[in-house]
């Protein structure tokens, strides 16, 4: 198996890190790797905020619900959509930038997330472990405040990275035909949905979760414990407000 394939296929999220710092040159290489991803019109509409300072990671920690990895991992990278830098350049050239709208939130997010995945793989290729923190969108406003993000910049996700202090197994995935459609989107029948989730639903892990949560099935753990409507609506509203405040919705 090629080393690339090994990196892709061996990915698992790491949640326990050693405190060993990432060598300067390795970090630089990983960040360079991130910038090689495709980018809209070669505009590079993103910024990577690399936080290593312990006090500052402590300050960020509550934004990520105090998950210990934010304090443990030597490097926390906040991945941001960024039309600010490009717009500033335009204004300095007496060109009127027009990137303060939803289309450019989408373009900038795409740039940022493709770069983020390159970052993650480059880190793993160097023997580091990573974890994406979905909490970033829950508390984007507070993260923006701590990191001094100007208008035109908004956090999308966070990658913690460092030397792993655990060796978790691979996470299962749905069968490939769950996510792949050939030619057009072929909607699922009820029987297909049952089949796609069958293995996961009958796993030991699921049995344990149901017992712990005192719920009759795995889906209800998602809807009643993990990602519940009230929170989802609050996050939607606060992020959309921030999007407007940061100047991504002058439509």
Q: Does 139 bind its own copies (CB under 8 A)?
A: no
Closest CA relative to residue 72, chosen from 133, 153, 113, 5:
133
The footprint of its own copies on residues 51-110 (CB under 8 A) is 51-53, 56, 80, 82, 85-86, 88-90, 92-99, 101-104, 106-107, 109-110
CA distance 217 to 182: 31
Q: Does 188 bind its own copies (CB under 8 A)?
A: yes
Asked whether the beta carbons of 5 and 72 are under 8 A apart, the reply is no
Q: Does 26 bind its own copies (CB under 8 A)?
A: no
The footprint of its own copies on residues 191-230 (CB under 8 A) is 193-194, 196-197, 217-220, 222-224, 226-229
The secondary structure of 190-206 as a DSSP string is HHHHHHHHHHHHTSHHH
CA distance 68 to 16: 8
Please identify which residue in 20, 35, 66, 203 interacts with its own copies, judged by CB under 8 A: 35
CB of 34 to its own copies, least distance (A): 8
Q: Which residues contact 53 (CB under 8 A, 6 or more apart)?
A: none
For the CA atoms of the chain, what is the radius of gyration? 20
Please identify which residue in 21, 23, 68, 134 interacts with its own copies, judged by CB under 8 A: 134
192-193-197 Cα angle (round to 5): 115
Q: Does 153 bind its own copies (CB under 8 A)?
A: yes
How many chain residues interact with its own copies (CB under 8 A)? 118
The footprint of its own copies on residues 108-127 (CB under 8 A) is 109-110, 113-118, 120-122, 125
Please identify which residue in 147, 160, 161, 242 interacts with its own copies, judged by CB under 8 A: 147
């Amino acid at each position: 198996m090629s080393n690339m394939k090994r990196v892709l296929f061996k990915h698992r999220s790491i949640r326990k890190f050693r405190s060993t710092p990432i060598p300067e040159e390795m970090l630089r290489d990983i960040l360079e790797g991130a910038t090689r991803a495709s980018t809209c019109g070669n505009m590079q509409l993103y910024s990577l905020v690399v936080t290593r300072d312990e006090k500052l990671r402590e300050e960020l920690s509550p934004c990520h619900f105090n998950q210990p990895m934010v304090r443990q991992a030597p490097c926390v990278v906040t991945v941001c959509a960024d039309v600010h830098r490009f717009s500033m350049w335009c204004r300095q050239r007496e060109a009127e930038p027009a990137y303060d709208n939803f289309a450019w939130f989408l373009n900038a997010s795409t740039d940022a997330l493709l770069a983020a995945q390159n970052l993650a793989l480059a880190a793993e290729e160097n023997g580091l472990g990573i974890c994406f923190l979905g909490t970033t969108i829950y508390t984007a406003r507070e993260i923006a405040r701590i990191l001094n993000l100007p208008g035109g910049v908004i956090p999308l996700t966070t990658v913690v990275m460092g030397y792993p202090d655990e060796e978790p197994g691979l996470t299962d995935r749905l069968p490939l035909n769950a996510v792949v459609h050939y030619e057009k989107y072929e909607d699922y029948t009820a029987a297909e949905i049952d089949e796609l989730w069958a293995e996961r639903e009958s796993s030991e892990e699921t049995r344990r979760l149901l017992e712990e949560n005192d719920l009759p099935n795995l889906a209800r753990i998602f809807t009643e414990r993990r990602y519940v409507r009230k929170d989802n609506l609050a996050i939607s509203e606060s992020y959309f407000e921030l999007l407007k405040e940061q100047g991504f919705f002058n439509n």
